[in-house]
Amino acid sequence: MKKFRLLPFAVVLLVFGLTACTPFTSAPTATPQPTYTPQPTYTPVPTHTVEPTAVPTYTPQSTYTPQPTYTPQPTYTPQPTAPTETPAPTETPEPTSPPQPTAPPPPPPTAVPPTSPPDPCAGIPADVSGSISPRCAPAGTSFSLSVWGFKPNEEVGFWLTDPNGNIVGTVDTVNIGPDGRVDDIPFSSTGFMQGIYYWVFEGVASGHQSIVYFKIIP
């Protein structure tokens, strides 16, 4: 087996010199390459570790047991029922009541006193500063009235109102006299209808009124 030794450093230089004496052939002009723009250094994004999602434990549901299928029963048709005879009610004999004691005879009827006839003069209002006689009477009766409460020698007007509210009067006045009153003034009721009438006497100066009521009855 042959052993090789490394060439001495001088041999290396000799080889280099021979190479340098070789005629130089100019190399073709190089095409300029685009300048390289360095890219920004990539910073790695921290990797997100996904937390494991808890899987819900499945609880098995109870197994559904089908129900037996319902078989409809045949419809029942009622048979006509014969009318039932209602038994006649049994008569219950009435219990025999014991003999009742004999009631005493009723007392004789009490005599009713005769009803007094109504007052024909009922419903006549009270007089004011005056009086009349009689208070009620049939048509054609002569009445007499008195009035008072006026000033001495005062002029007094007067008028009569019938049951229908009609007024019969005069524009004339009379002197009442020195006493401020007059008594027993007569007047006839011939032709008057039934009902309540009233006389009004009024003082011209004082305004005082005397009112007397009377009633014509059947």
Where exactly are the structural domains of the chain?
Answer: 130-217
Prediction pTM value: 0.48
Percent of the chain exceeding pLDDT 90 equals 42
φ, ψ of residue 150 to 5 degrees: the values are -95, 170
pLDDT in tens, 29-52: 555 565 556 565 655 555 555 565
Q: What is the mean pLDDT of residues 141-149?
A: 98
- From the list 143, 174, 137, 144, the residue with the least C-alpha distance to 159 is 174
**pLDDT given at position 24:** 42
**pLDDT given at position 197:** 98
Residue 134 preceded by cis peptide, ω within 30: yes
Give 74's pLDDT tier (boundaries 50, 70, 90). Answer: low
Residues 6+ positions from 83 with CB-CB distance below 8 Å: none
The label of the residue with tokens 């007007």 reads 157
pLDDT in tens, 16-35: 444 444 444 444 455 556 55
Residues 6+ positions from 129 with CB-CB distance below 8 Å: 147, 148, 149, 208, 209, 210, 211
CATH classification of 130-217 is 2.60.40.1930, yes or no? yes
Cβ-based neighbour number of residue 201 at 10 Å: 25
φ, ψ of residue 195 to 5 degrees: the values are 135, -175
More confident residue, 20 or 99: 99
For residue 167, pLDDT beyond 60: yes
